[in-house]
Amino acid sequence: MDNIILEKTEDKKELKRKAILKAAADVFSKKGYIDTSIKDITNEASISVGSFYSYFSTKEEILVQIFEEISNMSIEAASESSKFSKDNIIEQFTRSMTSAVCIYVKNKEFAKILFVKSMGINESFEKKRSEILDRTSFYLKTMLEHLRKNHLCIIDNIEITSVLLTHSIFGVITNWLDERLKCSIEDIIFSLCTYHLKALNINHKAENVHKYIKKVINSDYKELLG
């Protein structure tokens, strides 16, 4: 009985923590990170300032948490999606890329704060941004090692290639979020997939890449179509 009560208490805490994160992201997107106060966040979340400090120490901590959660969700989505069609490297690669990018698109306002509106806030946050990029590079490095091990492509330097992949992906996402790229999300993902498949010398047909992208979006991310 005590364990059940404890679990319910923990569930409530997690729900409240996520509610604060969402409220903060909503205010950040309206007022900008710099101009947002903790009082703005507590007003949006309909909680007391004291309650806020039970979960977070600063608004910077919230920003870091948002970044962590979205990046973790993106890597997890890519990893899960890559488990499909292991006998078809083109579909596996395309599914993985599509799922990863769609997480940022689905959380567009959060992602915009992280990649566009919070650039250069302070040294500690830039360090966190670097950690996230490193984590993504590590995931891609693992994927590239699998490709090379199974003779699916020739990669001279996996370390450099994983960094190049990471920065090209985040560079495109950032430009799209900042509305410097006026393309549909399907076009963005198609260009990323075909660019990287060519860079890895993996033969592919454009129509198949389009087909695999649509398969993922239509099954898991229909709300992004428009």
CA-based end-to-end distance of the chain? 49
DSSP 57: S
Each residue's pLDDT tens digit, 54-75: 999 988 888 888 888 888 899 9
**Is the confidence at residue 11, as pLDDT, over 70?**
yes
**Using an 8 Å Cβ cutoff, are 28 and 36 in contact?**
yes
The tokens for 210 are 């389009």
The dotted CATH code for 1-57 is 1.10.10.60
Q: How confident is the model at residue 2 (pLDDT cuts 50, 70, 90)?
A: very low
**Is the confidence at residue 108, as pLDDT, over 70?**
yes
Query: Average pLDDT of the chain?
Result: 85
Average pLDDT of span 141-154: 81
Alpha-carbon distance values, 149 to 109, 145, 153, 164 (Å): 39, 6, 9, 20
Report pLDDT for 5: 43
- 3-state secondary structure at position 215: helix
Range of weakest confidence among 28-32, 67-71, 141-145, 149-153:
149-153
CB atoms within 10 A of CB 78: 22
Q: How confident is the model at residue 123 (pLDDT cuts 50, 70, 90)?
A: confident
CA 146 – CA 150 distance, rounded (Å) = 6
**Is the confidence at residue 112, as pLDDT, over 90?**
no
In this structure, whether the domain defined by 66-224 belongs to CATH 1.25.40 is answered with no
Instruction: Give the residue extent of every domain in the chain.
Output: 1-57, 66-224
CA 204 – CA 155 distance, rounded (Å) = 17
Q: How confident is the model at residue 9 (pLDDT cuts 50, 70, 90)?
A: low
The angle formed by the CA atoms of residues 177, 179 and 182, to the nearest 5 degrees, is 115
Is there a common fold for 1-57 and 66-224?
no
DSSP 6: H
**Is the confidence at residue 8, as pLDDT, over 60?**
no
Q: Residue 102's closest CA among 77, 129, 65, 132? A: 77
CA 105 – CA 177 distance, rounded (Å) = 8
Report pLDDT for 4: 47
DSSP 45: H
Average pLDDT of span 165-187: 90
